[in-house]
Chain A
Amino acid sequence: MSHQLETALHPSGLRRVAIDTVSRVEGHGKVTILLDERNQVQQVRLHIVEFRGFERFIQGRPYWEVPVMVQRLCGICPVSHHLAASKALDQVVGATRLTPTAEKIRRLMHYGQILQSHALHFFYLCSPDLLFGFDSEVSRRNIVGIAAAHPEIAKRGVLLRKFGQEVIRVTAGKRIHGTGSVPGGVNKSVTLEERELLLADIYQTVGWCRDAVRLIKELHAQNPALYKEFGVCRSNTMSLVGAEGELDFYHGSLRARDGNGGILFDAVDYCDYAQYIQEEVKPWSYMKFPFFTAFGKRNGWYKVGPLARVQNCDRIPTPLAEIERREFIDYCGGLPTHAPLAYHWARMIELLHAAETIKDLLHDDDILGDDLVRTGERATEGVGVIEAPRGTLIHHYRVDEDDLVTMCNLIVSTTHNNQAMNEAIRQVARRYLDGCEITEGLLNHIEVAIRCFDPCLSCATHALGQMPLAVELVDAAGVRLHALSRNGDGAVCQPCA
């Protein structure tokens, strides 16, 4: 768990390589690399370059607006923010227990969200790297290329995401930025027709999710060394687990393990998160760096998300996904894996679990009920935690007697992975870049490592998918030595200096 390569010892005189993933293009994040005269890597950093300040301007708003407002943090996982805020505000309105209908509608919405987000990430964004190869032709590396080469895979990806979005529409009222969840419960349940609509597709959905797990397993089997060794970043891990240690995306308590799988803490009430987690600010990124307080900045950083969750829980409470979890754990020899590419496998297991859970919930008559909201004794503070598609999401609010928010603290999933993503790209830079000339393929290797984490830089400002790249080598005095970019047809070109 080192911080090697984070800061060069003697930066003066080093050449700067900016992998400007998004700065002149999407405006959200970029990678910089410093090299010495022998092209040895001395420093690598992933910078998050956009700042929005949601935490501050939520202050002064009435609390009941918050679950709808905070969704605008992220259009990819809006339901996660909608529900994390609702859970925090359940405490404020004194809803210690939701009605069965409200709890199940929210779960249905959330598992729909996991399904659509995982399908989007795997099929639309990552599958081109995995199916065509990391340094395959740039012009093919997108969903259009997949549609041409693997039409059936592309079609299923689109339809899986569609199904997840339809579950969200039915439960939240709208596919993106719905309004279904309110402090204390939900404002609608599901009608019989809506249930029929979703039931019509659920069995096919479960089957396709099984096939997706099979596909990622085949890819691992084709190149086991790559999948095991690429960008490995050993760290602690954290996720919510349910009351019996089972995988649960909607509710539970915090569990953390060290890099060997040993328990660091368990059954922690998430309202006490602030006693366990602190955040460090670094001058070169707007995204903060969280760590476990007890283990300090250097050793206390951790990973969240599918890879953490699937290895952190004791079991998955649906049968098909549980079989897949066991196979995954066996494949890794019973020891925790820290390979970023294994995130994809874990993510597909979760995709299957989400589909199975939706199927079960659709057969539960509680989702048709009309007892929707509870309130009780008013409180001034609430913490809501949920497992968003990308990992643990923390929302924390204080509300005054005029119903206005006075404090808001958000730790979004991608932020937890900040250090891990930085470490992964340092590993990749060391392994593939050290001492070499830069190539387009190398740039994509760095992107592939970042992409494994499915970073939602919109939550921390989001960069969706295949990030366009430009690389510039500049000497310490700022003189451009060398530049590479991908041009319109994907070829790497070298503009004249």
Chain B
Amino acid sequence: MNTVIGKKLKVATTSLAGCFGCHMSLLDIDERLFDLIELIEFDRSPLTDIKELGSCDIGIIEGGLCNAENVHVLREFRRQCKILIAIGACAINGGLPAQRNQLSLALILQEVYHTSVGLANGLIPNDPELPLPLAKVRALHEVVNIDYFIPGCPPSADTIWKALNDILGGREPELGHGLIQYD
């Protein structure tokens, strides 16, 4: 990995409507994490306590959009990050959560909160503290421009490592044989 010596690149990550599996796969780089933090500095990420997203070189987003808040966070990432990477099936096409798109949201809420097994009371949560769900789960590129897509559910740690290495080194990421996978 060769970056401009002395300057750490800022990387922010977030999970929207994802399962954190893509973040786990990033951590699956194992000891290479210690090499990575020599080259980058984490800005806002589930791994840090930083609240406000600062201006970043790279933003990595896991998960699609399932509520209004996800859209807000995504726009914020696009505004602040020079390079935006959609990581994993959920970010690229909605992934498994998008299975709900063939059903009406009202029906799903009804079944989960009114008619499912073992409920003491039926009631659909509606407090103003809860962000409004979107009628359909959406992919990130439907809302903002995305620079790179890394497929997989999740992409393997080696795939993420290779893509990050290329980008950190100022090269177009190239994922060769064995690194692109869709499961």
Contact = CB atoms under 8 A, between A and B. Distances in A.
Interface stretch (B27-35, B140-148, B166-174): B27-35
B135 interface: no
A23 B131 contact: yes
Interface of B: 14-25, 27-28, 30-31, 33-34, 37, 42-44, 46-52, 54, 66-67, 69-70, 72-73, 76, 95-97, 99-100, 102-103, 105, 107-109, 111-113, 116-127, 129-131, 133, 153-154, 156-157, 183
A463 interface: yes
A174 to B, nearest CB: 8
Contact of B19 (A73, A174, A278): A73
A396 interface: yes
B15 A26 contact: yes
B97 A52 contact: yes
Interface stretch (A192-200, A253-261, A280-288): A280-288
Interface in A345-374: none
A217 interface: no
A57 B129 contact: no
A142 B47 contact: yes
Given A75-B20, A286-B125, A27 B30 contact: no
Given A51-B133, A284-B129, A278 B120 contact: yes
Given A25-B14, A144-B42, A486 B49 contact: yes
Given A52-B17, A274-B118, A165 B52 contact: no
B50 to A, nearest CB: 6
20 contacts: A25-B14, A27-B131, A30-B129, A53-B108, A55-B116, A56-B111, A73-B19, A143-B47, A144-B37, A158-B31, A158-B33, A279-B119, A279-B120, A281-B119, A396-B117, A409-B116, A458-B18, A466-B47, A470-B51, A490-B49
Interface in A40-86: 45, 47, 49-53, 55-57, 69, 71-76, 78
A220 interface: no
Contacts of B48: 141-142, 144, 466, 468
A282 B154 contact: no
A176 B125 contact: no
Interface residues of A, number: 80
Given A24-B69, A75-B19, A486 B127 contact: no
Given A72-B19, A75-B19, A486 B120 contact: no
A165 B26 CA distance: 13
B112 A55 contact: yes
A408 B178 CA distance: 36
Contact of B15 (A285, A396, A464): A464
Contacts, number: 238
Tell me which of B42, B119, B125 has the highest count of chain A C-beta atoms within 10 A of its own C-beta: B125
Contacts of B121: 280-281
A177 interface: yes
A161 interface: yes
B97 A124 contact: no
B129 A32 contact: yes
Contacts of B50: 138-139, 468, 486, 488, 490
Contacts of A45: 129
A72 to B, nearest CB: 4
Nearest to B74: A27
Given A142-B42, A176-B21, A176-B154, A278 B119 contact: yes
B108 to A, nearest CB: 4
Chain B CB within 10 A, most for which of A281, A297, A470: A281
B96 A465 contact: no
Residue from B51, B105, B124 with most neighbouring chain A CB atoms (10 Å): B51
A73 to B, nearest CB: 6
A277 interface: yes
A155 interface: yes
Contacts of B51: 25, 468-470, 485-487
A75 B24 contact: yes
A409 B46 contact: no
Contacts of B49: 138-139, 141-142, 444, 466-469, 486, 490
A487 B52 contact: yes
